[in-house]
Chains A and B, each alone.
Chain A
Amino acid sequence: MARNEVAVVGVGLSKHVSKRRDVNMAELVWEAVSACYEDAGLKPRDIDAFATGNMPAFEGVNVPEEWGAGHWGAYGKPVLRITTGGTTGGSVAHGGYYLVGSGLYDTVMTIAFEKQSDGNSTMGLNTVALADAAAQLQLGVDPAFIAAFGGGAVGVAVYQASSYMKSSGCTTHHLDKVAALCRNNAALNPCSHLKQPGLTPEEVAKTTLLQYPIRFGHVCPATDGACAMLFTTGEKARKLTSKPAYVLSVASCSDEAALVGIAGSGTTNVDPCEQESCKLAAARAYELAGISDPRGEIDLAEPYSPFAHQMLMFYERLLLCDEGEAPSILDSGSMNLDGELPVCPSGGVISTNAIGASAMERIAECAMQIMGKCGERQVKKEVHKAVAHGWGGAVNLNVVAVLSDTPRR
């Protein structure tokens, strides 16, 4: 029978850096899993099922759940693998919510990870891009032209950034400010990758221009890292901790495929900053959570933003303000750790991007902020409701989760 109350009772993160040579992929994941067991005060025998995922094409290892039994404590247990590109971690956590919420399992561990230093991420992205390239080839577009535009995430982000800047009034100075805000938050997060305490927007503005308007300082790093979370029933959660983080709702929405978003990609979705699927997923998530006024009720947001403009763009697409308002809200200081609606207190994806884990780490941060477990980066205000977001697939999928300190009524 379906359950109304599902809660997060534990979060574990591995160390996040660019190259982990001291551990292999399975051992890296073990670090996050062990930390998660410790955080929740549970042992493998307490877990009923596991959900996991990463982006297999990045490491070239296609069955990473092979190590689940040993390195995650899943020996003899059900293991479900979910992978949806950049949103993988979010989809895996949604899977954990569904497994408990369905009433089929009580306590479920979700695990997401990426060890980018072992692999070839550009190659991995190219295999994703082939789906879009097929449509272009049908139209007779030169393969060399496709390779020039499809070979990497920056190539996708620049069109989105310039389109967003035109429609919102966001300036390059706003991009610099976003990067500085996130990297300063990351400096307070022991599990973040790029820690730059005291970084100023002026310093970001001096970094190399990659492709207009994106500078080196506006882009995420490539990270080795893993994240694990424990989901259980409301009843069990209250026995385990005095402050569980309840999952009020999850929603995901697939858009038209638009990898490059330029003429010739065979899609009608020509505005890469529109992100209609994010707005639809957010609206659905708020509705399921019983939230009628997200602007008034959400206390904290973790939008998925590997590129600086995306923090502002997705803040808008998560219906937290009118379209075009986010840059001035950033200027007001509201998005800071001590602001009215702190954004990316973890430091965000722009500071740490173990791709398969990233969308789960947004949900993990919301849970930890609600549970009051964030140490130096704990936001000043009390967090009652928080929204976590993931963006991925082949730039077509948006996933949203709403968490709270009180269960859904």
Chain B
Amino acid sequence: MGAKAAKDPVPRVSIPLNPVFGWTVGNWMENFFDGMKEGKILGSRCPDCGRVFLPPRMICERCFAKADEWVELPATGTVQACTEAAVKVAENGDMVDLENPEIIAMVKHDGADTCITARLEGADASIGMRVEAVLNPGAENVLDLLAAYRPMG
């Protein structure tokens, strides 16, 4: 190998790839979003074991049964686990410090057996804290229908 070859031994080529993937949520999640547009929180119940899924699931993963019973759940629930986000990912992919850290919590609604993870308003949170869902029925994007959780009382 001469000195010239050693200078740039690996030619670099970039091949542009532009993947666009989708995810069909299915009828159960469509029903969940439609419910929130009317201010309702809808879960599905397994007819075999009775567990209530929120967000709803079509199949109970333990019973292999179709969870086709719908139940309207209250907006209230309990924090099962929580964290504080100190950074966010900017549009260009960089990590930037948040001016005010945000609380994110796993919330189990009263009457549900599974959790929803979402932003919690305020600066303090603790496991066991009572919270309620803040719905935004007019949201353009279905993912914004559940705006956040808010501490109760």
- Residues of chain A whose beta carbon lies under 8 Å from any beta carbon of chain B: 20-27, 30, 44, 59-61, 69-73, 75, 115, 117-120, 123, 126-127, 130, 133, 137, 143, 147
Residues on B with C-beta less than 8 A from A120 are 19-21
Q: Are A70 and B24 within 8 A (Cβ)?
A: no
Chain B stretch 10-68: residues in CB contact (< 8 A) with chain A: 11, 13, 15, 17-29, 57-62, 64
Q: Are B59 and A119 within 8 A (Cβ)?
A: no
Q: Are A69 and B61 within 8 A (Cβ)?
A: yes
Residues on B with C-beta less than 8 A from A115 are 24
Given B19, B27, B28, which contacts A60 in the complex, CB threshold below 8 Å?
B19
Q: Are B21 and A59 within 8 A (Cβ)?
A: yes
Bound-complex Cα distance A177 to B51 (A)? 55
Q: Are A70 and B61 within 8 A (Cβ)?
A: yes
Q: Are A117 and B59 within 8 A (Cβ)?
A: no
Residues on A with C-beta less than 8 A from B24 are 20-21, 23-25, 115, 117-118
Bound-complex Cα distance A115 to B22 (A)? 10
Closest 3 CB pairs of A and B: A70-B61, A60-B21, A24-B26
Among B18, B25, B62, B64, max chain A CB count under 10 A is at: B64
Bound-complex Cα distance A26 to B25 (A)? 10
Residues on B with C-beta less than 8 A from A130 are 15
Check A123/B19 contact, CB under 8 A, given A21-B24, A24-B24. Answer: yes
Bound-complex Cα distance A295 to B123 (A)? 77
Residues on A with C-beta less than 8 A from B59 are 26-27, 30, 70-71
Q: Are A24 and B25 within 8 A (Cβ)?
A: yes
Known: A27-B26, A75-B62. 8 other contacts (CB 8 A): A22-B26, A27-B59, A70-B61, A70-B62, A117-B22, A118-B22, A123-B19, A137-B13
Residues on B with C-beta less than 8 A from A133 are 15
Bound-complex Cα distance A75 to B64 (A)? 8
Q: Are B64 and A73 within 8 A (Cβ)?
A: yes
What residue in chain B is nearest A45 (Cβ atoms)?
B64
**In the assembled complex, how far is the CB of residue B47 from the closest CB belonging to chain A, in whole angstroms?**
15
Residues on A with C-beta less than 8 A from B23 are 24-25, 61, 118
Q: Are A71 and B22 within 8 A (Cβ)?
A: no
Residues on B with C-beta less than 8 A from A25 are 23-24
What residue in chain A is nearest B57 (Cβ atoms)?
A70
Q: Are B22 and A27 within 8 A (Cβ)?
A: no
Residues on B with C-beta less than 8 A from A21 are 24
- Residues of chain B whose beta carbon lies under 8 Å from any beta carbon of chain A: 11, 13, 15, 17-29, 57-62, 64
**In the assembled complex, how far is the CB of residue A20 from the closest CB belonging to chain B, in whole angstroms?**
7
Residues on B with C-beta less than 8 A from A44 are 64
Among A23, A27, A60, A115, max chain B CB count under 10 A is at: A27
Residues on B with C-beta less than 8 A from A143 are 13, 15
Residues on A with C-beta less than 8 A from B21 are 59-61, 118-120
Bound-complex Cα distance A331 to B138 (A)? 63
Residues on A with C-beta less than 8 A from B26 are 22-24, 27
Q: Are B58 and A147 within 8 A (Cβ)?
A: no
**In the assembled complex, how far is the CB of residue A316 from the closest CB belonging to chain B, in whole angstroms?**
36
Residues on A with C-beta less than 8 A from B57 are 70
**In the assembled complex, how far is the CB of residue A8 from the closest CB belonging to chain B, in whole angstroms?**
21
Among A24, A61, A130, max chain B CB count under 10 A is at: A24
**In the assembled complex, how far is the CB of residue B4 from the closest CB belonging to chain A, in whole angstroms?**
17
Q: Are B64 and A70 within 8 A (Cβ)?
A: yes
What residue in chain A is nearest B64 (Cβ atoms)?
A73
Residues on B with C-beta less than 8 A from A119 are 21-22
Bound-complex Cα distance A20 to B26 (A)? 9
Given B18, B22, B27, B29, which contacts A123 in the complex, CB threshold below 8 Å?
B18
**In the assembled complex, how far is the CB of residue B14 from the closest CB belonging to chain A, in whole angstroms?**
8
Residues on A with C-beta less than 8 A from B61 are 69-71, 75
Bound-complex Cα distance A119 to B22 (A)? 6
Residues on B with C-beta less than 8 A from A118 are 21-24
Q: Are A30 and B15 within 8 A (Cβ)?
A: no
Bound-complex Cα distance A147 to B14 (A)? 12
Bound-complex Cα distance A137 to B11 (A)? 9
Residues on A with C-beta less than 8 A from B60 are 70
Residues on B with C-beta less than 8 A from A20 are 24
Bound-complex Cα distance A130 to B14 (A)? 11
**In the assembled complex, how far is the CB of residue B48 from the closest CB belonging to chain A, in whole angstroms?**
12
Residues on B with C-beta less than 8 A from A26 are 59
Bound-complex Cα distance A25 to B26 (A)? 9
Q: Are B27 and A22 within 8 A (Cβ)?
A: yes
- In the complex, 28 of the A-B residue pairs with CB atoms within 8 angstroms, ordered by the A residue number, are A21-B24, A23-B24, A24-B25, A24-B26, A26-B59, A27-B28, A27-B58, A27-B59, A59-B21, A61-B21, A61-B23, A70-B57, A70-B62, A70-B64, A71-B59, A73-B64, A75-B61, A75-B62, A117-B22, A118-B22, A118-B24, A120-B21, A123-B17, A127-B17, A137-B13, A143-B13, A143-B15, A147-B15
Check A23/B19 contact, CB under 8 A, given A30-B59, A69-B61. Answer: no
What residue in chain A is nearest B19 (Cβ atoms)?
A123
Bound-complex Cα distance A63 to B64 (A)? 20
Bound-complex Cα distance A72 to B63 (A)? 10
